[in-house]
């Protein structure tokens, strides 16, 4: 059967590249909106500004620190070594998975559903593996962990977002002089955001560039970034020249406080999109790298190397997907669930980052999408259940549940179609 790979090598590679680009496009259309939804919904950024910032930082994150490939393919979901005797099945399966996940993400983005790109590709890989090699090829305990994350992840991020928002309420909004309190405390929030987001970027991204930072060096570098951002925040707040006036109403004060929080939102948005690009581009390039490596060597390689062109391709796909379709999911996250202001958006965004750090440290399988939606729900709950649009929440939860089986079903269809085209007697 290896003759099939040799005979159709270039065509199979072109298909994998095309479907890998489609998957990256889907990530841009759906997942990047998560990092930007709160910033746009809170009016800290316009949608055009958000897309421009995300295009720059997503591409930089994907290109400079997006090499998390081997672990994406070998997360324990399937045993790739079982394909040693039939490498063409791995090629067909990974190619079908890219197409299946890409199609599902684009459909979800069109409908404005914030679904999980990770769960889309995981479902697709489970689908072809279970049919291609049998159900024993899938490690079902991993699937159980993913299902449990639907409940655990949003709950954790929601609780953190609720806590963050309530601290801002006590320290700033409930004081006699909210604007002065904001000037005093927001640089500390900015420092905390810098610390958490630096850790996300370093732990989830930089380790794959070969910097080889120790844990102590990572914390030290994150501490420096936190201090730098706190000082930058102090400078930017001062340059805004916002001052209280004797005739200001309480609402006027709050409006100025939200302007101070808007500065923080812009910085957290830049950091989150870089971290996202460095981490989630692997969902597209992981299977593509596996296909490219298998086609090049004719066998299933023990370690998948990344060709030089794969990371830029993933970054470009993400950027184009965001520019074309990203606005739909941005609207759902930013305005559909609950009314967001910069202070609420900040609490949701930082809670998401903290949850990602906790999850990466404990090995919990999580979805950035579900983490952020949970955080936005937490902020909404701080204002009472009436502040939530429960219809939108219901639709989001339904879209989460059907993502895994949708990816699996589409992958099975495309897997058999590829087999039928390239191995007519199969």
Give, for all 426 residues of the chain, the pLDDT tens digit.
Answer: 457 777 788 888 899 999 999 998 998 888 777 667 777 777 777 878 887 888 788 777 776 655 543 344 444 567 667 777 778 888 898 899 999 999 999 898 888 777 888 788 888 988 888 887 788 777 777 777 767 777 788 889 899 999 998 998 999 988 888 888 988 998 998 898 888 777 766 765 565 556 667 778 888 988 998 999 899 888 888 887 777 777 778 888 888 888 888 888 887 777 777 767 766 777 777 788 778 877 777 666 655 566 677 778 888 888 888 888 777 777 766 666 666 778 888 888 888 878 877 776 665 556 777 787 888 888 888 776 666 777 777 777 788 788 889 999 999 999 999 988 888 664
Whether 203 and 218 have beta carbons less than 8 Å apart is answered as yes
For 78, list phi and psi in degrees, rounded to 5: -135, 160
Q: Which residue has the tokens 């937490």?
A: 378
Question: For residues 152 and 8, what is the distance between their CA atoms, to the nearest angstrom?
Answer: 45
Q: Which domain holds residue 77?
A: 2-422
Q: Give the DSSP letter string of 254-279.
A: HHHHHHHHHHHHHHHHHHHHHHHHHH
Residue 138, SS3 per DSSP: strand
Q: Distance between terminal CA atoms of the chain?
A: 11
CA angle 377, 352, 374 (to 5 degrees): 20
Nearest of 363, 308, 312, 354 to residue 71 by alpha carbon: 363
- Number of domains observed in the structure of the chain: 1
DSSP lists the bridge partners of residue 78 as 138
Would you give the DSSP letter of residue 175?
S
Helix (H) or strand (E) holding 78: none
DSSP 136: G
CB 127 within 8 A of CB 407: yes
Q: Check residue 207 and report its DSSP letter.
A: G
Task: Give the whole-angstrom CA distance, residue 425 versus residue 168.
Answer: 66
φ, ψ for residue 109, nearest 5 deg:
-65, -40
Alpha-carbon span 37 to 42, nearest angstrom:
8
Distance CA 128, CA 290 (A): 15
């Amino acid at each position: 059967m290896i003759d099939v790979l040799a005979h159709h090598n270039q065509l199979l590679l072109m298909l994998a590249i095309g479907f890998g680009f489609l998957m990256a496009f889907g990530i841009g259309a759906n997942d990047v909106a998560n990092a930007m939804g709160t910033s746009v919904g809170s009016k800290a950024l316009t949608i055009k500004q958000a897309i421009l910032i995300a295009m720059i930082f997503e591409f930089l994150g994907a290109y400079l620190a997006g090499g998390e490939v081997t672990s994406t393919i070998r997360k324990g979901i399937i045993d790739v070594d079982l394909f040693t005797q039939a490498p063409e099945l791995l090629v067909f399966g990974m190619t079908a998975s890219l197409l299946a996940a890409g199609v599902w993400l684009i459909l979800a983005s069109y409908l404005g559903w914030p679904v999980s790109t990770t769960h889309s590709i995981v479902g697709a890989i489970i689908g072809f593996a279970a049919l291609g090699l049998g159900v024993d090829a899938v490690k079902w305990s991993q699937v159980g962990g993913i299902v449990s994350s639907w409940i655990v992840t949003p709950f954790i991020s929601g609780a953190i977002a609720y806590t963050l928002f309530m601290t801002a309420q006590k320290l700033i909004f409930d004081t006699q002089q909210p604007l002065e309190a904001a000037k005093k405390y927001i640089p500390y929030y900015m420092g905390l955001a810098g610390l958490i987001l630096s850790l996300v970027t370093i732990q989830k991204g930089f380790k794959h560039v070969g910097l080889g930072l120790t844990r102590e060096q990572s914390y030290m570098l994150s501490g420096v970034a936190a201090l730098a951002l706190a000082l930058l925040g102090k400078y930017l707040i001062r340059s805004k020249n916002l001052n209280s006036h004797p005739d200001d109403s309480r609402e006027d004060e709050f409006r100025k406080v939200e302007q101070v929080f808007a500065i923080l939102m812009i910085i957290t948005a830049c950091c989150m999109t870089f971290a996202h690009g460095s981490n989630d581009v692997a969902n597209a390039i992981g299977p593509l790298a596996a296909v490219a490596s298998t086609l090049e060597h004719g066998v299933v390689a023990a370690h998948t190397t990344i060709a030089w062109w794969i990371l830029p391709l993933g970054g470009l796909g993400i950027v184009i997907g965001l520019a074309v379709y990203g606005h739909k999911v941005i609207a759902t996250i930013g305005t559909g669930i609950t009314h967001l202001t910069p202070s609420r958006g900040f609490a949701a965004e930082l809670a998401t980052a903290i949850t990602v750090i906790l999850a990466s440290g404990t090995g919990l399988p999580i979805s950035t999408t579900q983490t952020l939606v949970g955080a936005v729900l937490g902020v909404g709950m701080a204002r009472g259940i009436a502040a939530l649009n429960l219809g939108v929440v219901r639709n989001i939860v339904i879209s989460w549940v059907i993502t895994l089986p949708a990816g699996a079903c589409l992958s099975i269809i495309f897997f058999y179609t590829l087999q039928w085209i390239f191995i007519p007697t199969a």
